[in-house]
Amino acid sequence: MIVELGHFALVLALATALVQMLLPAWGVQARDRQLMAVAEPAALAQLSLVLFAFLALMHAYVTSDFSVETVWANSHTAKPLVYKIAGVWGNHEGSMLLWVLILALFGAAVALFGTNLPARLRANVLAVQAAIAVTFLLFIVLASNPFLRIPPQSEGRGLNPILQDPALAFHPPLLYAGYVGLSIAFSFAVAALIEGRTDAAWARWVRPWTLAAWICLTLGIAMGSWWAYYELGWGGWWFWDPVENASFMPWLAATALLHSALVMEKREALKVWTILLAILAFSLSLMGTFLVRSGVLTSVHAFAVDPRRGIFILTILVVLIGGALALYAWRAPRLQPGGLFAPISREGALVLNNVLLTTGCATVGVGTLYPLVLEALTGAKISVGPPYFNLTFGPLMLPLLAAMPFGPFLAWKRGDLAGVAQRLLAAALAALVALVIAYALVWRGPWLAPFGIALAVWIIAGAVCEWAARVQLLAAGADRVWRRARGLPRSAHGTTLAHLGIGLTLVGIVATSAWQSERVLAMRAGDSTEFSGYTLAFRGVAPAQGPNYQEQVALFAVTRSGSPVTELSPAKRLYDAPRQPTTEAAIHVAFLSDLYVVLGDELKDGSFVVRLYFNPLVRLIWIGAVVMALGGALSLSDRRLRVGAPRRARGAQAAHALSTE
Amino acid sequence: MATGLPTTLRLCRRPRSCPRRAEEARPRAWLDLAEARHRRRLARQGRWPAVGGGWRWRPIDPSRAQRNCLRRRGAVVAILACAVLTLACRPAGAVEPGEVLADPALEARARHISQELRCLVCQNQSIDDSNAELARDLRLLVRERLAQGDSDAAVLAFIEARYGEFVLLRPRLAPHTLLLWLTPLLLLAGAVSALLRRSRRRLATAGGQAAPLSRAEQRRLEELLKRSAR
């Protein structure tokens, strides 16, 4: 019964979204305030209906109702509760519903918190938001209904065991929050195009939403990478897999959008470009969702399993992306160009950021889609793998990273490069010292790696330098520094943290790619081996029983120069349903570096294959991502960006009026 | 098209760690069916029943090798289709102790080459990461060629000749991949030239000056100046 109610609520949500799409847009045309005001209650109603549908589906999962097809196909009674809940979005149908739920959530947030938006803009934004919801709800109701009934089954087929993991349970919701959060930027861009005007205020409204989406994307991607690192069992953290690329492209576009919206907010330049970027960022999210969910990337055949779905997906992509781009082509030329700036200026630096980020994004996109297109056109099958991306994407990011410390130092409109270089002298010295130390400490590994470390230190020190200069860390007394730090807008602290995070991540990437050590050997109980300064004594393997799996757990006693360090227990699991083996790596963390032990197969002489990895500074990759997200959050809490800060908003308008020269 | 393997001896492997084996402990109806099918397939390939395990040299008659090669081409397509279904893509590090070459320099080269080759069973994994049977065969083939003194490029070419361009994770620079390799450069050049043209044009039209204020802006400016003067 609850399932049918959920299904009904979903259809009602579709009807509500239709109302929310049509009436406010008509109201804007007819200048009817009452029609425009329909948008807010409709958005809230849509949220409650979709939420009800989602909870109904979750109820079916939690109670293991195997008369529902998706529950039967993806759940199992023996699964722990948290994975029953996570199972809701661990499959195509449920994840689409989660997608729409987050979309409705963002729409309702605009309705609730956007009270200071001009009525016309708000009505348009909510109408566009509803248009996206309509296409997705139609898709769910017609082609991927999660509430379909089947004759009741006694037991479900279970969730893929490698997905039964805490990090992966919350990775999709975070990633989707990022994807869907960009829909707000998209809706604002389309609304601006419909109205035919944008200004600094528009950018100020768009930025917090984009920032929120960017934070979620950053954390979501980092969580996925972290999961791959410890769960897939060979210590890799990024594979340039098409599915990863599908989430990385929106991140690159959103990062570019954050920076170009900054120019638009402060200087009213790059208007047309920012709008295009807002459209592109969400288009990439849409594409990412579908590429991942339709399975078109891993296998072209998965698309043909249900041709209706494939065609539906393509139609949605064409309607939303094509429609927005057509509107852009038609209306963008009418937008007034903004302020002028010299090439060497804050704006110039942000333009460089945008050029490199979007080129990088396009490179990743081409690398991901080229094999598909080539096969469709000529039938030739090629693979584009990590070597391609390392060769193309890497060099594109180098100038961006090298130029990063300069950006925040440069003045708006016209900057003084020599002056900035002088102020960055300390950072350059730090980088040089890092280079020398890296060469002195490690001889092995690629000769370029120390330069990578130096680049990362340059970024970190540059971010710190900029912050120090702002609070006059060296020139003033402690109380003065404290006062200046307090007085600094939080977004400035946020910038410093986010740039610092990039540097930390880069240290982790370079160190672990260049200096990872690895050993594969066969060990029998009682053997011990030396590895990266540790001594690992293999005590043996014992069977154990988990809630829905059996496992073989190995025990390693780890010592370092005679004193015990830790005990590590890597395991091999065999899940009950579906019957599928997984490897559980055991990781010992020693100052941001990981000793990573994997238990392999048993050999016929009774010994076990054991894989040992030492990943230096690998933790910094994710710590850096978290620091980036923290920076974003800090910037989001800036009162200037907080929704409803009227006094400052008026000040900014005055500044804008003055700055138009 | 390959004309069979160059040696009449080929490394063949007994199904020692057949992934489905662990499931024999608790048979189920549908599993038994799959198991039986799996065994039939192995038996067809002469790999079942297993006597002991490990690697051994086995003579192969050339006609059969050629047939195998042809079958493998077809098999690739079949494998791709059922890649998701096979249990072979168990995620875990791949290289096994027995495979490692004694010469560290040669082994390092082998690892490097392995990272450039795609596993045909586990899509999106290099043969270095995959522990599918086919990936293991390829890893051993790479090491065999290296031990015979082939250069890295020769090994890659050897494998490409047998398995098609699809195995190369780094596509060759050829007419059909020109666009792939040149896109980043073209985009960057396009963006830079567009920026230069735009800034030159705007400087020319504005003469270095911004557009004059509109009447509304003028009024607002006066109001602001008045207010700030007060």
Give the pLDDT confidence score for residue A305 in this predicted structure.
54
pLDDT tens for A351-409 read 999 999 999 999 999 999 898 889 888 888 888 988 999 999 999 999 999 999 998 88
CB-side neighbour CA atoms (13 Å) of B187: 22
Residue percentage of chain A with pLDDT more than 70:
94
More confident residue, A114 or A278: A278
Judged by CB atoms closer than 8 Å, whether chains meet at B83 and A299 is answered as yes
More confident residue, A223 or A639: A223
Provide the pLDDT confidence category of residue B77 given band limits of 50, 70 and 90. Answer: very low
Pick from B90, B129, B156 the residue to mutate for testing the A interface (most A CBs within 10 Å).
B90
Contact (CB, 8 A) for A112 and A644: no
Give the pLDDT confidence score for residue B214 in this predicted structure.
77
Give the pLDDT confidence score for residue A250 in this predicted structure.
95
Give the pLDDT confidence score for residue A19 in this predicted structure.
95
CA distance linking residue A608 with residue A539, whole number of Å: 12
Structure tokens at A78: 């023996």
CA distance linking residue A624 with residue A642, whole number of Å: 25
pLDDT tens for B195-221 read 888 777 766 665 545 566 778 888 888
CA distance linking residue A455 with residue A324, whole number of Å: 39
Omega prior to A578 cis, within 30 of 0? yes
Q: Is the pLDDT of residue A604 over 90?
A: no
pLDDT tens for A58-89 read 999 999 999 999 999 888 888 888 889 988 98
Strands in A524-580 per DSSP E: 528-531, 534-545, 549-560, 563-568, 571-575
More confident residue, A620 or A160: A620
Considering CB atoms only, which of B19, B166, B224 is closest to A383? Answer: B166
What mean pLDDT, rounded, does chain B reach?
65
**Which residues in chain B have Cβ-Cβ distances shorter than 8 Å to A236?**
129
**Which residues in chain B have Cβ-Cβ distances shorter than 8 Å to A583?**
90-92
- CA B222 vs CA A627, A649, A658, B219, B225: distances in Å: 45, 19, 10, 5, 5
What mean pLDDT, rounded, does chain A reach?
87
Number of H helices, E strands in chain B: 7, 2
Provide the pLDDT confidence category of residue A562 given band limits of 50, 70 and 90. Answer: confident
Radius of gyration of chain A (CA): 27
Contact (CB, 8 A) for A252 and A218: no
Provide the pLDDT confidence category of residue A501 given band limits of 50, 70 and 90. Answer: very high
Judged by CB atoms closer than 8 Å, whether chains meet at A383 and B23 is answered as no
Contact (CB, 8 A) for A573 and A549: yes
One-character DSSP codes across A266-287 = HH--SHHHHHHHHHHHHHHHHH
Give the pLDDT confidence score for residue B123 in this predicted structure.
67
Provide the pLDDT confidence category of residue A7 given band limits of 50, 70 and 90. Answer: very high
Give the pLDDT confidence score for residue A590 in this predicted structure.
86
Give the pLDDT confidence score for residue B42 in this predicted structure.
56
Which H or E run contains B195? helix B178-206
Judged by CB atoms closer than 8 Å, whether chains meet at A367 and B180 is answered as yes
Pick from A157, A162, A234, A357 the residue to mutate for testing the B interface (most B CBs within 10 Å).
A234
For residue A611, report the phi and psi dihedrals to the nearest 5 degrees: -110, 130
CA distance linking residue A545 with residue A523, whole number of Å: 24
**Which residues in chain A have Cβ-Cβ distances shorter than 8 Å to B81?**
299, 301
When mean pLDDT is compared across A5-14, A362-371, B167-176, B200-209, the lowest value belongs to: B200-209
Judged by CB atoms closer than 8 Å, whether chains meet at B115 and A387 is answered as yes
Judged by CB atoms closer than 8 Å, whether chains meet at A660 and B183 is answered as no
Give the pLDDT confidence score for residue B41 in this predicted structure.
61
Contact (CB, 8 A) for A172 and A88: no
Judged by CB atoms closer than 8 Å, whether chains meet at A600 and B164 is answered as no
Considering CB atoms only, which of A241, A387, A574 is closest to B22? Answer: A574
CA distance linking residue A632 with residue A626, whole number of Å: 10
Give the pLDDT confidence score for residue B230 in this predicted structure.
63
Shortest CA gap A226–chain B (Å): 15
* Closest CA in chain A for residue B86: A580
Give the mean model confidence (pLDDT) for residues B226-230.
75
Q: Where are the domains of chain A?
A: 2-344, 424-510+621-627, 517-615
Q: Is the pLDDT of residue A413 over 90?
A: no
Give the mean model confidence (pLDDT) for residues A147-157.
89
CB-neighbour burial class of residue A134 (10 A; exposed 0-12, middle 13-18, buried 19+): buried
Give the pLDDT confidence score for residue B33 in this predicted structure.
43
* Closest CA in chain B for residue A445: B108
Number of H helices, E strands in chain A: 24, 10
DSSP-derived pairing of the beta strands A517-523 and A608-615: antiparallel
Q: What is the DSSP letter of B117?
A: B
Considering CB atoms only, which of A162, A359, A374 is closest to B187? Answer: A359
The complex's ipTM works out to 0.81
CB-neighbour burial class of residue A625 (10 A; exposed 0-12, middle 13-18, buried 19+): buried
Considering CB atoms only, which of B97, B180, B202 is closest to A370? Answer: B180
Q: Is the pLDDT of residue A299 over 70?
A: no
Give the pLDDT confidence score for residue A294 in this predicted structure.
65
CA distance linking residue A630 with residue A494, whole number of Å: 7
Q: Where are the domains of chain B?
A: 9-16+52-167, 181-229
Q: What is the DSSP letter of A603?
A: P
More confident residue, A620 or A520: A620
Beta-bridged to residue A594, according to DSSP, are A589, A615
Shortest CA gap B7–chain A (Å): 28
Judged by CB atoms closer than 8 Å, whether chains meet at A385 and B126 is answered as yes
Shortest CA gap B38–chain A (Å): 16
Judged by CB atoms closer than 8 Å, whether chains meet at B169 and A386 is answered as yes
Shortest CA gap B17–chain A (Å): 7
Considering CB atoms only, which of A520, A522, A654 is closest to B93? Answer: A520
Provide the pLDDT confidence category of residue B44 given band limits of 50, 70 and 90. Answer: low
Give the pLDDT confidence score for residue B203 in this predicted structure.
66
One-character DSSP codes across A352-407 = HHHHHHHHHHHHHHHHHHHHHHHHHHH-------HHHHHHHHHHHHHHHHHHTTHH
Q: Is the pLDDT of residue A656 over 70?
A: no
Nearest-CA neighbor of A466 among A521, A425, A405, A510? A405
Give the pLDDT confidence score for residue A59 in this predicted structure.
95
CA distance linking residue B217 with residue A33, whole number of Å: 28
Q: What is the DSSP letter of B211?
A: P
| pTM summary value | 0.83
Which H or E run contains A587? strand A586-590
Shortest CA gap B61–chain A (Å): 30
Pick from B101, B115, B118, B124 the residue to mutate for testing the A interface (most A CBs within 10 Å).
B124
Q: What is the 3-state secondary structure (H, E, C) of A289-310?
A: HHHHHHCCCCCCHHHHCCHHHH
Give me the CATH topology for the region B9-16+52-167.
Helicase, Ruva Protein; domain 3 (1.10.8)
Provide the pLDDT confidence category of residue A114 given band limits of 50, 70 and 90. Answer: confident
Considering CB atoms only, which of A396, A520, A601 is closest to B184? Answer: A396
* Closest CA in chain A for residue B120: A383
**Which residues in chain A have Cβ-Cβ distances shorter than 8 Å to B16?**
604
Provide the pLDDT confidence category of residue B40 given band limits of 50, 70 and 90. Answer: low
Structure tokens at B106: 């040669």
Judged by CB atoms closer than 8 Å, whether chains meet at A234 and B126 is answered as no
Nearest-CA neighbor of A159 among A547, A601, A545? A547
Q: Is the pLDDT of residue B120 over 60?
A: yes
For residue B18, report the phi and psi dihedrals to the nearest 5 degrees: -55, 125
Sign for the pseudo-dihedral over CA of A474, A475, A481, A487: negative
Give the pLDDT confidence score for residue A641 in this predicted structure.
56
CA angle centred on A274, ends A621 and A190, rounded to 5°: 115
When mean pLDDT is compared across A296-300, A465-469, A547-551, A554-558, the lowest value belongs to: A296-300
CA distance linking residue A17 with residue A229, whole number of Å: 40
pLDDT tens for B82-109 read 333 333 344 445 577 777 778 888 888 8
Considering CB atoms only, which of B80, B98, B124 is closest to A239? Answer: B124
pLDDT tens for A217-259 read 999 999 989 988 888 777 788 888 888 888 999 999 999 999 9
Pick from A227, A271, A382, A549 the residue to mutate for testing the B interface (most B CBs within 10 Å).
A382
Nearest-CA neighbor of A121 among A36, A43, A23? A36
